[in-house]
Amino acid sequence: MEHLLAAVDLGSNSFRLAIGRVHDENGVRQIYQIDRLKETVRLAAGLDENKVLSEQAIDKALAILKRFGERLESFHPDRVRAVATNTFRVARNTPEIMPLAEAALGFPIEVIAGREEARLIYTGVNHTLPASDNKRLVIDIGGGSTEVIIGKREEPLVMSSLYMGCVSYTRRFFPDGVVDEHTMRTAEMSAQREIEVITKPYKKLGWQEAYGSSGTAKALQAILTEGGFSKKGITASGLQRLRQKLVKTGRVVPEDLPGIKLERADVLLGGLAIMSAFFDEMGIEVMHTGDGALRLGVLVDLAGRSDAQDRRDETVKVFMKRYHVDSRQASRVRRTAQRLYDSLFPNANPFDELRHALSWAADLHEVGMSISSNGYHKHGAYILNNADMPGFSKADQAAVAMLVLAHTGKLGKVQSLVKSQEQWMAVLALRLAALLCRRREEVEALALSVSVKGKSIVTTVNRSWLAKHPLTDFSLHAEEDEWRKVGMQFEVVTV
């Protein structure tokens, strides 16, 4: 089992589970998918006019997740990553649904931002393509959103997530399955207006190859090639011929479209309108399909996390440089916070996510200084909550931002944000580390030790050392009041 990783993709049209075996040879990593599950859920169709998911859609989603959970029963949590996309991003009742979904699956679920979805999609597509120095355009038309990326080699250069998808567009423009010239043109023009926002910078950067990575792209390629609309791939002329046929027929008739899968027939019109708009607006002549997609990108990213190539670590380094963080001070605080945390949890997994979050928060605790030293922890938390941070889920960002907000000042401001005793201990470790490193000098040995039992925190300090550090003495006793206000006892004991 130690060679297997699992990715769960909770899309707006389909839920997918992919299990991959990681193989490294001569420095080259390859992931072989050994098992896959896919179930059509049409989640986006379950959103009402107030963006609330219906009970029927929720029940169907939970039933699928329970089946996925059975397949993943023997997996360690470190080897499973589940991501949720656009419908969960926009649904107003996602906070109520998510605990039920996680219980059904048996693993945490991350609601990822559109740009993070785009990054993972590009990672997955690029992993399956031959090495090339060409710039590649990747378009993924999902059920509720469409991700558009231009990348070169392993790096995405520009990324966008547009609020349109095959399920939402079919529901909006072709609710009864009927199509004519007017409705198709209306749908295409709506999509073009969305695409216009990104057309200029994408055309300026340019690309040499275009790939579609979604079910829509694969369905269109199969229909166009098997139906004789185009000889190879998705072409502008082939899309036009298919469009004319559907408008003439007035609806999608699966028997008349070789290559189409029945599950795709219901959302083909919306997907075709969006794809046609991309070809017209961006001047695409031909597009091929990539075997990789979001779920493979998740597997590749997860494999990197397991061997110290975590993309989040790279993002933290970029942020430290961008916001002119004092790297030496960040390193001091990180080392001290980690030592304190490890003393509280001596048997903790060194790769546990909370320990990672503590390390990132220590590295980034002064990012707000770039705005103002007054209330810098609040500025830093705002940046980390709202910035585009490749590799980070919204939950990752929220955890780091909470720790940065909590590392100094009043504790009451984060009381509603802290969800567990373990998170309080991470807050404790970071606050004490920042306090001990305030002089911005190296801390060779910890001047204090900490023990926690229930809601009681005991900090033991050498009496003679504390007498020589009156500011630290004052700050430690100030902590007593702060922790008491959040329902915990903080005691300073000198020996």
The confidence score (pLDDT) of residue 2 equals 47
Contact 494, 463 (CB under 8 A): yes
pLDDT tens, residue by residue, 240-291 = 999 999 999 999 999 999 989 888 899 999 999 999 999 999 999 999 998 7
Q: Which residues contact 244 (CB under 8 A, 6 or more apart)?
A: none
Q: For residue 35, list its beta bridge partners.
A: 19
Q: Where are the beta strands (DSSP E) in 172-218?
A: 209-212
pLDDT at 25: 64
> If residue 114 lies in a helix (H) or strand (E), which one and from where to where?
helix 114-128
Mean pLDDT of the chain: 91
Which pLDDT score, from 0 to 100, does residue 300 have?
87
- Spatial contact of 270 and 117, defined as CB atoms under 8 Å apart: no
Question: What is the predicted pLDDT for the residue at 452?
Answer: 92
pLDDT 10s digits, 137-188: 999 999 999 999 999 988 999 999 999 999 999 999 999 999 999 999 999 9
User: Alpha-carbon distance 365 to 71, whole Å?
Assistant: 40
> Cβ of 214: how many Cβ atoms within 10 Å?
29
Domains of the chain, earliest start first = 4-112+296-302 (3.30.420.40), 130-289 (3.30.420.150), 310-443 (1.10.3210.10)
The pLDDT, as a whole number, for residue 1 is 41
Low-confidence residues of the chain: pLDDT under 70: 1-2, 24-29, 305-309, 348-351
**pTM confidence score:** 0.74
